[in-house]
Structure 1
Amino acid sequence: MTSDDVIEIFRRAGAYLEGHFILTSGLRSPVFLQKARVFMHADLTEALCRSLAEKIEARFGDDVAYLVGPAVGGIIPAYETSRHLDAPAIWVEREGGEFKLRRFEIEPGARVVIVEDIVTTGLSIRETVACMQKLGAEVLAAACIIDRSAGKADVGVPLIALAEYEVPAYPADALPPELAALPAVKPGSRSL
């Protein structure tokens, strides 16, 4: 599956939104990729995650013990990707502002891949990597459906992206006039 194929799936699902958006990272963008509108369609989600699983399997074979999704956005893609890799999906959740593995246990040395929906700055992945390493896991890589940074985000481990799609993102105090003229909407999930 190519990057264009992935973006076309987002467009078909009504998940490619244009306006003025406050991203989870705090940056502002004229484009928001509303993955929830894709994830409500099992067939589209399955197609994306099957292709992502193929990329992970090509790199690591069957050497992945767990797929770990950062809540909220990574839960569905981690789960669906796990179906194609025959490895369990688990997730981390924020507790006191920090990611914790609250509902599961992993054995020290477990080889894990973090699975995220969309990467902009990579913060959620870096926080998930830190959590997993604190628990003694070996983080092999992170994987995402779309890398909005087109390879520029530092996630702390190798990043496997199904699609790279660079979308402009701006600090709130450096908006282009056409973006500043639109009302801002914050559709992300970091505060959940």
Structure 2
Amino acid sequence: MSNIDPQDASPSDSVDALAADIDACCRLHGEFTLRSGQVASEYFDKYLFESDPALLARVVDRMVDLLPPDTQLLGGLEMGGIPIVAVLSARTGLPALFVRKKAKEYGTCKLAEGPEVAGRRITIIEDVITTGGAVRDATRGLRERGATVGTVVCAIDRSPAGENPLADVDLEVRPVFTRAQLDAARAG
């Protein structure tokens, strides 16, 4: 857990200092089996910064200025985007949506819990993007329901430098940090 009080988080917080703190909190060393089945000696556990109120507040402070001014709803993706969107919604006053990986098959059968999405401009909120698969699926689902989705704001973009993994769905990616920034924080 960080030693910074969430009340002390501010937009003037150094990007480099925040990157270093996130890297120190989330980069684990040991033996880890990855989703691919490969074994790695290093693992980045994003949930460690999301569960730390001080780090989460500092990341959200950085996200506020990345939101398009015409945003009407913030769409947090299950599961990692949910804590971020809840804090971001409270900070900005914009309503939050909680976007499922797939629509419920019972009750309201909704893909996104919260306000109606049809005719609204939604900014997707995600924790980490590598290939963008979950964001791509959510964007298509929200658009099918009449929403306008043009931007995703994420805490960390781990896709290859200079590439937009969501260009195929015409989505702008606005990260707080890139993989290179976190790697530089580790090296520094």
Structure 2 distance, partners of 1:84, 1:4, is: 22
**Are 1:113 and 1:142, in contact at CA under 8 Å, matched by a contact in 2?**
yes
Q: Which of the numbers 141, 144, 147 marks the counterpart of 1:131?
A: 141
Q: Percent of pairs identical after alignment? A: 22
Shift in alpha-carbon separation, 1:129–1:95, aligned structure 2, 3 A: closer
Displacement of 1:82? 2.0
Shift in alpha-carbon separation, 1:133–1:96, aligned structure 2, 3 A: closer
**1:40 partnered with 2:78:** no
Letter in 1 for 2:74: L
Structure 2 distance, partners of 1:151, 1:30, is: 26
Matched length: 160
1:99-144 deviation digits (Å, cap 9, x = unpaired): 9525334242200100000111110110110111011000130010
Q: Which of the numbers 113, 130, 145 marks the counterpart of 1:120?
A: 130
1:29-85 deviation digits (Å, cap 9, x = unpaired): 6543212111222121011011111122xxx22x21111111011101112222232
Which position in structure 2 is the counterpart of 1:109?
119
Which position in structure 2 is the counterpart of 1:165?
179
Unaligned runs of 5+ in 2: 1-12, 182-188
Shift in alpha-carbon separation, 1:47–1:112, aligned structure 2, 3 A: same
Q: CA RMSD in A?
A: 2.8
Which position in structure 2 is the counterpart of 1:52?
63
Structure 1 distance, partners of 2:92, 2:41, is: 35
**Are 2:117 and 2:147, in contact at CA under 8 Å, matched by a contact in 1?**
yes
Of structures 1 and 2, the one scoring higher in RCO (CA 8 A, sep 6+) is 1
Shift in alpha-carbon separation, 1:97–1:2, aligned structure 2, 3 A: farther
Structure 2 distance, partners of 1:66, 1:53, is: 13
1:149-192 deviation digits (Å, cap 9, x = unpaired): 1342422300000011159xxxxxxxxxxxxxxxxxxxxxxxxx
Which position in structure 2 is the counterpart of 1:68?
75
Structure 1 distance, partners of 2:153, 2:28, is: 23
Unaligned runs of 5+ in 1: 168-192
Which position in structure 1 is the counterpart of 2:22?
10
**Are 2:125 and 2:154, in contact at CA under 8 Å, matched by a contact in 1?**
yes
